[in-house]
Amino acid sequence: MAGNLKDTASLSNRQEAHQPSATPLVAGVYRGDMRYTTWRARGTQDYLLMYTRTGAGRVGHLRGEVRVMPGELVLIRPGTHHDYGTARGAAHWELIWAHFQPRPHWLEWLTWPEPAPGILHVALETDTRAAVEDALLLMDTRSRSAQPLRSALAMHALEEALLLCASTLPSVRRQDARVGAAMSYLVENLAQPLTLREVAQATGLSVSRLSHRFKDEVGITPGQFLERERLARAAQLLRFTTRPIAAISEEVGFASPIHFSLRFKKSFEISPREFRKLGG
């Protein structure tokens, strides 16, 4: 297994991993042997969190790799190349992982040290590690339960873990409040045919400044963020209500049911109708 992107991209037998569906949260606990490796050329549309329990892992990037040991977390932003697996010399890598769509107010907690573009890394102190691990295990348990509100309960546990991590990093910069205001404005107006100029006016920033600050801090453009939030809300409505698909399309701000279905299928890899039939 190569240690940088240039080398891994040249391996003709390297198979790109499946992209998880863009639901609010998909989580699990996994133990990979020394051969475990994952590669996605364009990353995913969500954030990927990986917490190491035992063994050691590696996350490759253009300049080399980040080695992750027990009690350490890696967070990969949307659209960042995935090249990770068991670290060389390690017999295994046991990790708790989560693909998730962060709630807007979470993003100010995710300003971790960034050893490479799109790859964030933090090592927890001993007194915080147990609490974070417990919260992440609870997240996993809840996400696989039969409870009606399992997704919300799992997100609550993940939120606790992220808060605990943020509390150990007093020196990191806080998110620009105007970017937070832009995210809130977008989420609160999903059904409206928004323009970037309207969002900029609501936050007191110019269009160009908002675009730059938003992409810099969130990792995606305002338009991409808006579509992600619309699709996430649509998935919730498909899963927990019996509303017609056309009504859901209109409620989350798509111009037509056909356009909604095309965008939904591109993100979730199945149609809205199939998603509902499978129970989300």
- Same domain assignment for residues 162 and 182: no
Q: Using CA atoms, how far apart are residues 97 and 49, in angstroms rounded to an integer?
A: 5
Is-above-0.85 flag for pTM?
no
Q: What is the pLDDT of residue 280?
A: 55
Q: Judge whether 108 lies within some domain.
A: yes
Determine phi and psi for 197, rounding to 5 degrees. -65, -40
Q: Judge whether 22 lies within some domain.
A: yes
- Same domain assignment for residues 185 and 273: yes
Evaluated on CA atoms 96, 101, 106, 109, the torsion sign reads positive
- 237 and 248 Cβ atoms separated by less than 8 Å: yes
Q: Judge whether 182 lies within some domain.
A: yes
- Same domain assignment for residues 75 and 141: yes
- Same domain assignment for residues 107 and 226: no
- Residue that the structure tokens 């020196």 belong to: 171
Q: What is the pLDDT of residue 50?
A: 98
Domain count, the chain: 2
Work out the pLDDT band at 172, boundaries 50, 70, 90: very low
Share of the chain above pLDDT 90, in %: 52
- 74 and 120 Cβ atoms separated by less than 8 Å: yes
Work out the pLDDT band at 9, boundaries 50, 70, 90: very low
Mean pLDDT of 6-24: 51
How is residue 274 annotated by DSSP?
Answer: H
Beta bridge partners of 226: none
- 99 and 47 Cβ atoms separated by less than 8 Å: yes
Quick: pLDDT tens for 213-266.
998 888 789 999 899 889 888 988 888 889 999 999 999 999 999 999 999 988
- Same domain assignment for residues 49 and 184: no
Q: What is the pLDDT of residue 15?
A: 58
Quick: pLDDT tens for 201-222.
999 999 999 999 998 888 789 9
- Same domain assignment for residues 59 and 26: yes
Count how many residues are written for the chain: 280
User: For 122, how many CA atoms within 13 A lie in the half-sphere containing its CB?
Assistant: 25
Pick the last residue of a domain from 167, 194, 210: 167
Q: Judge whether 118 lies within some domain.
A: yes
Per-residue burial over 195-230, b = 16 or more CB atoms within 10 Å of its CB, e = otherwise: ebeebbebbebeeeebbebbeebbbbebebbbbbbb
Q: Judge whether 60 lies within some domain.
A: yes
Structural domain including 190 reads 177-277
Helices 196-203 and 222-240 pack at an angle, to 10 degrees, of: 100
Task: Indicate whether 152 pLDDT > 70.
Answer: yes
Pick the last residue of a domain from 104, 139, 167: 167
Quick: pLDDT tens for 29-40.
999 999 999 988
- Same domain assignment for residues 14 and 133: yes
